[in-house]
Structure 1
């Protein structure tokens, strides 16, 4: 049996607008981000799904809570759905990180999957946590549809994982705030169905840049 995943990125945050690296630190949703979360909630109101899961970081939680108000689901948190921990670079812009930690930032920018940011983690470590979580949910809700609110880094890694794209390859795809992606989970493997749908944001205040 196949489990259907609707995977959502959280709404835009204040730090997103400033270009700050968030990692495990947090920033509230911006006014645009709140509108984006409400647009997701409105779209999901007419979709039948079994459960609503999310990262335990505030930006994902706030997005999930707004969905839950409209759909009546409980919000189920799991820290394995968090964004990659960026340790000493969290809270900094890319320019600040490159100036204060040039060697670390250069390694980070190179995109090596096993590079561990001091005080943080590697891309492969975060992907392993996320895939472990999603596989558990896939088995728990076999044959059902579930919604998961997570982060851009997790979605990017899962996209590469499904399509066999090496993690060091420059990213040639977008992961927009409040985007809607669908994956099927069947016999231990994930299959991409829909990527980065933002049709629900047509009437919401947003900036695709």
Structure 2
């Protein structure tokens, strides 16, 4: 049986707006991010789904809580849905990280899947945890639709994993805040159905003009 996953990236945070690396540290949703979370909640109010899960990091929980308050679903958190831990780079802008930790940042920017950032983790370590979590959820919800609020880096890794794109290949796709991405899990594997849908944010863009 097919389990349909609607995988959402959290709304924009204050650190997203500053282009600051977050990892396991947290920044609250910006004013725009709160509006994005409300837009996701409004869209999901029209969709029948059976369960709502989230990373346990604050920005994901904040986004998922907006959804839960609108749809009435119980929110379940799972540490395996976290963003990759960026260790000594967390809290720094990319420019600051390049200046303070040039060698580490160079390896990080190169995108090697097995490079472990000091005090952090590798992309492959985080992906393994996420895939194990989603496979477990598929077993828990066969034939159902499940909403998951997670993070940009993890979504990027899952996109590459699903399409067989080498992890170190330069990213040629966007991972937008509050984006709606659908993956189906069937016969032990993931299939990408839709990516980067932000149609629910169109009214927000018009409000800003």
TM-score (norm 1): 0.98
The runs of at least 4 consecutive aligned structure 1 residues that moved more than 2 Å come to none
Per-residue Cα deviation, 1:21-58 (whole angstroms, up to 9, x for no partner): 00000000000000000000000001000000000000
**Structure 1 gap ranges (5+):** none
CA distance, structure 2, for counterparts of residue 34 and residue 105 of structure 1: 31
Q: Which residue of 1 aligns with 2:2?
A: 2
Secondary structure in 1 aligned to 2:133? helix
Per-residue Cα deviation, 1:162-189 (whole angstroms, up to 9, x for no partner): 0000000000000000000001000110
CA distance, structure 2, for counterparts of residue 185 and residue 97 of structure 1: 37
CA distance, structure 1, for counterparts of residue 194 and residue 139 of structure 2: 21
Q: Which residue of 2 aligns with 1:30?
A: 30
Q: Which residue of 1 aligns with 2:66?
A: 66
Would the aligned equivalents of 1:35 and 1:205 in 2 still touch at CA under 8 Å?
no
Q: Which residue of 2 aligns with 1:199?
A: 199
2:43 is aligned with 1:49: no
Aligned residues: 206
Q: Which residue of 2 aligns with 1:166?
A: 166
CA distance, structure 2, for counterparts of residue 203 and residue 11 of structure 1: 15
CA distance, structure 1, for counterparts of residue 61 and residue 170 of structure 2: 30
**Structure 2 gap ranges (5+):** none
1:30–1:205: structure 2 CA closer, same or farther, 3 Å change rule? Answer: farther
CA distance, structure 2, for counterparts of residue 4 and residue 130 of structure 1: 16
CA distance, structure 1, for counterparts of residue 205 and residue 69 of structure 2: 20
2:67 is aligned with 1:100: no
Q: Which residue of 1 aligns with 2:118?
A: 118
TM-score (norm 2): 0.98
CA distance, structure 1, for counterparts of residue 107 and residue 173 of structure 2: 21
Task: Report deviation, 1:205.
Answer: 5.0
